[in-house]
Structure formats: structure tokens, C-alpha cells
Amino acid sequence: MFSESAIALSSSWLYTERSVPFWQILGRMANFDSLLFHDDGLMTDYEDASSAALSWYEQKWNLPANIAQIHQDEELMAEWTRRKTQLLIDFTYKLRDTADYYRQYDIKCFLIARNIYAPVVLNPESQVWFAQNIEAFGQAYDYAAVMVMPYMEGAENAEAWLRRLAAEALKVMPAKRLVFELQAVDWRSQSPVPSETLAQWMELIRDAGNMNYGYYPNDFINGHPKTGVLRREFSLETELKTAL
């Protein structure tokens, strides 16, 4: 299981540096063997526009200290996006190393995973909107957790969308290092996704060749999703059935 931690990368890189002591405390005081960097680890195609960032682009990356000027040139835009993508990966490494420095060691390997948005998998050009790239994630992390949220993405046919997403992800990363994170709530109406629908989605993911999946959020207070419905999707019997 992954101990989920979110990194917030907002309008200033200075903010991210202030979070580092938290990770030192986390590693010293808690017992865990893995980290999941959540979905707010992104930068849009207009970030970061702080004065510190603009100076960094010019001095470190040999890019214009002007985002509008970068947007006007495809090559500059591609280079800027690639640099930001790697910058976020490097930052997660820094957090990993910081948490691992005082970590209570055992024989288990310290694993890291990171959420990636579905549009980045389906359309590589979407990298500019998120500073995420599944090929880079495949090289950088032990696992990539794909956010499988067809309703939030406005898919007209959720099942067809999910099949395509699974197929595209498997072209880049092996199944054993992919995790599919299904939406358990339809945030358009703030209503739960039926447990039967989640079970069907899980079956589609298995049919595509991937055995790693989960769901979010888990509403244990109201009993959603229903354990009785999903049990067979997580059971040993299902795994054996697929193997046979």
C-alpha cells in the first residue's frame, strides 16, 4: 500500500522549499515504505510566472524571461515544457530523499509512485497543460497511477474511453507498474458512482491486461462502494480466473 502524500506546487517555487522540513519529520516520526505523490503535482502552460521563476528560465535554462514570448515559439514552448516536467520529477526525488533520510529502515525497498492525468496519456500534447509525461514517469517512478475519471473528463462513452486509456498506457509502461485509480464519485452531480459500474470498469481494466487498480474516494461512513459488490474484483478467485 502507498502512503499518500500530496505536493502543492503553486505560483512560487519558494513555497515548495518551505515544505521540505515536513518531509523530514514525516520520515523520522512515521513508519512507511512508499509514497504516492498526488495529482496537484503539476504546472500549467502559464506557470510559473513568479519573478524567481522567470529569472531561473533565463539564467538556468537559457529561455526568455517572458512567458508570452515562450508561447509564441513552438520550440521554446516544447523545451520549457520538457524542463518543467523534469523539474517536478526532480523535486519529488528531493522529497523522497528527504523523507528517506531519517526513515525507520527495514528490509523493504522505499517505493515511489505519482498520479498522472488521463489526458496526458491519451494525448501527449497535453503535457504542456500539466508538465506531466507518461514516458518520463515510466523512467522516474516505480509506479504511475493513472487517474481514471471518465465522467470528470467528459467522456461520452465511459467504457470506450476506459478501454482506450488502458491500451494507450500499456503501450508505454508495463502492466505491473501501472495503477488505475477509478472515480467513485461523479463530481458533476456530487453523487456516488454505482458499485456495479465500478466493478464493470475493473473488469474492463483486467481484460486490457492490467491487474492493478483502485478507487477514490472511499466513503466508509456511508458504505460506498459496496464491499459485497467489489469483493470479487479484488479477490484471489478473480486473479486465478484471469490466469486460467
100 and 162 share one domain? no
3 and 111 share one domain? yes
88 and 18 share one domain? yes
Among 80, 115, 150, give the residue marking a domain's end. 115
Q: Is the pLDDT of residue 67 over 70?
A: yes
> What distance in Å separates the CA atoms of residue 185 and residue 3, rounded to the nearest whole number?
22
If you average pLDDT over residues 142-170, what whole number do you get?
A: 95
pTM equals: 0.85
With CA atoms as reference, report the closest residue to 182 among 222, 221, 225, 142: 225
> What distance in Å separates the CA atoms of residue 64 and residue 8, rounded to the nearest whole number?
25
3 and 109 share one domain? yes
Average pLDDT over the chain reads 87
169 and 214 share one domain? yes
103 and 168 share one domain? no
Q: How many domains is the chain built from?
A: 2
90 and 168 share one domain? no
- Per-residue pLDDT reduced to its tens digit, 92-114: 998 888 888 877 666 677 899 99
The DSSP bridge pattern shows strands 191-192 and 185-186 to be: antiparallel
45 and 105 share one domain? yes
Please report, in angstroms and rounded to a whole number, the separation of the first and last CA atoms in the chain: 26
- Report if residue 120 sits inside a domain: no
111 and 33 share one domain? yes
103 and 165 share one domain? no
DSSP per-residue letters across 80-119: HHHHHHHHHHHHHHHHHHHHHHS----SS--EEEEEEEHH
- Per DSSP, 156 falls in state S
Cell of 62: 537559457
Within 10 A of 39 (CB to CB), how many other CB atoms are there? 19
In this prediction, residue 22 carries a pLDDT of: 82
Instruction: Determine the structural domain holding residue 65 and report its residue range.
Output: 1-115
Among 115, 150, 172, give the residue marking a domain's end. 115
22 and 72 share one domain? yes
Residue 3 Cα to chain centre, angstroms: 14
